[in-house]
Amino acid sequence: MPRTLKAGFAGTLIFPLALVLYDFAAYLTTDMIQPGIVQVVHDFNGDVSLAPLSVSLYMAGGMALQWALGPLSDRIGRRPVLLTGALIFTLACIATLFATSFELFLAARFIQGTSICFISTVGYVTVQEAFEPTKAIKLMSLITSAVLLAPVIGPLGGAALMHFVHWKVIFAVIAALGFLAWLGLALAMPETVKKQDQPIRASAVLRDFRAVFRNSVFQTGAATLALYYIPLMTWVAVSPVILIDAGGMTTAEFAWAQVPVFGALIAANIVMMRFVKDPTDPRYVRRSVPVQLCGLIMLIAGNLFYPHLWLWSVAGTSVYSFGIGLIFSTLFRFTLFSNDLPKGTVSASLNIVILSTMAVSIEVARWLWFSGGGRLPFHLLGAAAGIAAIFCLLRLLRQVARQE
């Protein structure tokens, strides 16, 4: 029989902590280097316009193995797949230390990005499979809150470290965290699926993926989540160029400017865990919409009337982050359990949609900025995506209600 998280102390405590550490380290590869990414480009004699590629290629790496890891973990088990991923991530961070060109640095970033595949497709699914819905959603919010400390302290820590050491030391520190996460997973990760004896057949995998993408609830849920991510992730990718290269901020000032954005996400998860009895209640989900709209309006109106103040970009993104942070875990649960197909395949399909959308939107946002449009067209992209996400959300709630 598959082991579950209910099996003992190691499963209920050490495994989630190891998963948090792995996820935390994966975030740090982007967040700690963001204040210094312009310096990284300069060290390799690259063009500053290439700086956002560090994030978009990381996202592309997160999409690269989704098609394989979901079906593979459904058949051979969650444990061996996630352990392999943690080891690959650690080795990719070590490889960054030996990069001699910006192209090699970007290649290492791509491989580091595969951690998204392993964490979201295998790690998060294990948590969802082991607990009943409300407990799983709140545990995922707890994990998210802990992991979101990376975008808060990562830029600050990265900016501070770069005053004393070379930026490659950052990746050495993250590699050590990755190894500790691998060790914790090896000691405590439970197995929630039973290994299948039959070989993996391409036709069966394709059939499962086809069934997932034909499911209307999955289609709506995936679109909702992907669109919700666009304003936040485009900000993560392009904000170093906006605030440091164009805005003249120091790396420390940039790091402090990011604190409200990711602090809002953490606050939203704390509110949900502490005060919301049933996070799957449609009334609760709908109440997050006005908060999201306030953030989007602040983004556009502030940059329209006060284009010389970056404050409105940070404030609007922060309010929007709070609004979406209230419901992210719920939307993931709705979408993951929208059918009876293997959950690894469903999660992989969801991440393919989200990450491909992220990679494309970051490149579009980068083009909008460097084509001379400035902050307003950049934020209009995020606002349009956020409004489209709200319409998808309302449709998703209607579809979920019909299934009950």
Greatest CA separation for the chain = 64
At 388 the pLDDT is 97
Cβ neighbours of residue 156 under 8 Å, at least 6 residues apart? 252, 255, 256, 259
* Alpha carbons 366 and 277: distance in angstroms, whole number: 41
Give tens-digit pLDDT for 244-285: 877 788 877 887 888 898 889 889 988 988 888 888 899 999
Phi-psi region of 199 (alpha: psi -120 to 50; beta: other; left: phi over 0): beta
Q: What angle do CA 248, 261, 250 make, to 5 degrees?
A: 20
* Alpha carbons 321 and 314: distance in angstroms, whole number: 10
Residue with tokens 């953490």: 266
At 5 the pLDDT is 45
The one-letter amino acid at 337:
F
Residue with tokens 């001379």: 372
Q: State mean pLDDT over 77-105.
A: 93
- State the DSSP code for 101: S
Distances (CA, A) of 107 to 112, 235, 362: 9, 22, 18
Mean pLDDT over each residue of the chain, to the nearest integer: 85
CB of 139 within 8 A of CB of 5?
no
Domain at 5-190+201-403, CATH homologous superfamily: MFS general substrate transporter like domains (1.20.1250.20)
Query: Whole-model pTM?
Result: 0.76
**Structure tokens of 107?**
């290649």
Domain boundaries, the chain: 5-190+201-403
CB of 21 within 8 A of CB of 182?
no
Give tens-digit pLDDT for 5-44: 444 545 567 888 899 899 999 989 988 888 888 888 888 8
End-to-end CA distance of the chain: 30
Helix, strand, coil proportions of the chain in percent (round to 5)?
85, 0, 15
φ, ψ for residue 272, nearest 5 deg: -60, -45
Q: How confident is the model at residue 138 (pLDDT cuts 50, 70, 90)?
A: confident
At 295 the pLDDT is 95
